[in-house]
A = this chain, B = another copy of it.
Amino acid sequence: MSPNLADFTFLQGVKIVDLTQFEAGPSCTEALAWMGAEVVKIENPKMGDPGRRLRPGQPDTDPYYFHAFNANKKSITVNLKSPAGLALVKDMIRHADVMIENFAPGAIERLGLSYDVVKVINPGIIYAQVKGFGEGSPFEQNLAFDMIAQACGGTFSVTGDKNGPPTRPGISLGDTGTGMLMAITIVSALYKRRETGKGHRLQVAMQDAILHYMRINFATQGLTGRAAERGESKVPGVSNAPMGLYPCAPGGPNDYVYIMTSRANPEHWDRLLKLIEREDLIGDPRYLTPTDRVAREDEVDEIISVWTRKNNKLDAMKLLGEAGIPAGAVLDTDELNKDVTFEQRGIMQTMVHPVHRPFKMPGWPVRVDGRPTRVMSSPMLGEHTEQVLSDWLGLSAQAVAALKAEGAL
């Protein structure tokens, strides 16, 4: 079974001048590309987006990071420091619907593409900026990477062992999480612009965006009046048992199943006892209510673990699910990668690239009319220079060659 892929056309005809690099900006423009926009990465002719390589100055030995965040885009090379190159990008901006950048603070202004300049060239443009810290923040001028935004935005403080140090969540939420919030705002601005023709300046900071994802922790703080805590695999603020990770066979580093019984549904506990063949404990006053079980949480966890240790995590998940108990196996990237059901559903797709090895990666997870959108190759550096300059600006092949010769491209 292979998936019935579509090419989403929701944003067909939307032209995006993409001056982003690494992940926070590129994850945003990739989402827009998956929605059907024409996203043109403007890259410097020497090296391109530094996200193209793990080791600066080395060849593209790690193209996967770049593939993951640049599918379905076009790439043109422009030397923004040459007057002709800068003029060319200004011409593109005149034809664009959106311009987006995530350079270090002050860099876009030094390049001569500040909002004040751009809005004169194209008053209808949506001008989007992603920075580490917000305008007006005491740290406005600081550099940021994902980990720094996450540390300063609170996620480290709520992740890890209750008595251990703060811990980095293993995902790049400071980057992609920010990119998604900007994408929602850009498309909303485009929606209104169909009516008004008006442009807008949009700005987001990674630290601020992280707070959006921390709202459940701010809610806990609202309730307790204290800083939200770390809770390992439990959910601090939710007092319930059983809830958490239980070890499975054969005991590898990710051989665990998450089991959650709802306070709202007392049947979960009885169903669980039945499944693990401990019907003798149904109705036992020691474990009757969630409060009783929290008080004897170690005992409860051990009763369950005796059973989970005998099962592998996928069997356990299946048996628990069939018994009506919310549960999920801890899966790692290798297991997710090898699970063919993701490919069959078009959730994982293989990017076929003209140079690099095929790369299986997650595509956009939302289906439209039952179909996922197609993952297309990330562009090679400057792959679409001629095509885009011809399409957008009507430049001839000779004109492009001349610009190349003078170092503008």
Contact = CB atoms under 8 A, between A and B. Distances in A.
A145 interface: yes
Given A215-B176, A258-B147, A331-B157, A11 B191 contact: yes
22 contacts: A11-B188, A23-B216, A68-B218, A135-B367, A152-B331, A156-B330, A166-B253, A166-B254, A166-B256, A170-B231, A176-B216, A180-B180, A180-B184, A181-B366, A182-B366, A200-B369, A207-B328, A212-B362, A218-B333, A221-B334, A222-B360, A227-B333
A394 interface: no
Contacts of A167: 159-161, 167, 232-233
Rank and list the top 6 A-B pairs by shortest CB-CB distance, nearest first: A158-B170, A64-B222, A169-B169, A148-B328, A227-B334, A10-B188
Interface stretch (A80-88, A295-303, A340-348, A401-409): A340-348
B176 A213 contact: yes
B159 A326 contact: no
Interface string A225-252: 0111011111110100001010000000
A232 B160 CA distance: 9
Interface in A270-328: 317-318, 321, 324, 326-328
A144 interface: yes
Contacts of A355: none
Given A172-B213, A222-B359, 15 more contacts: A31-B184, A50-B264, A56-B263, A67-B219, A139-B321, A144-B326, A157-B254, A158-B332, A168-B235, A169-B171, A173-B177, A185-B366, A201-B369, A212-B362, A230-B253
A148 B201 contact: no
B221 A333 contact: yes
B168 A231 contact: yes
A153 interface: yes
Interface string A180-221: 111111011111101000001111110111011111111111
Interface string A64-81: 110111000000000000
Contacts of A256: 151, 156, 165-166
Interface of A: 8-12, 23, 31, 35-36, 50, 54-56, 62, 64-65, 67-69, 134-139, 141-145, 147-149, 151-161, 164-173, 175-177, 180-185, 187-192, 194, 200-205, 207-209, 211-223, 226-228, 230-236, 238, 243, 245, 253-254, 256-258, 260, 263-264, 317-318, 321, 324, 326-337, 341-342, 344-345, 347-348, 359-362, 364-370
Given A144-B328, A221-B333, A348 B213 contact: no
A149 B328 contact: yes
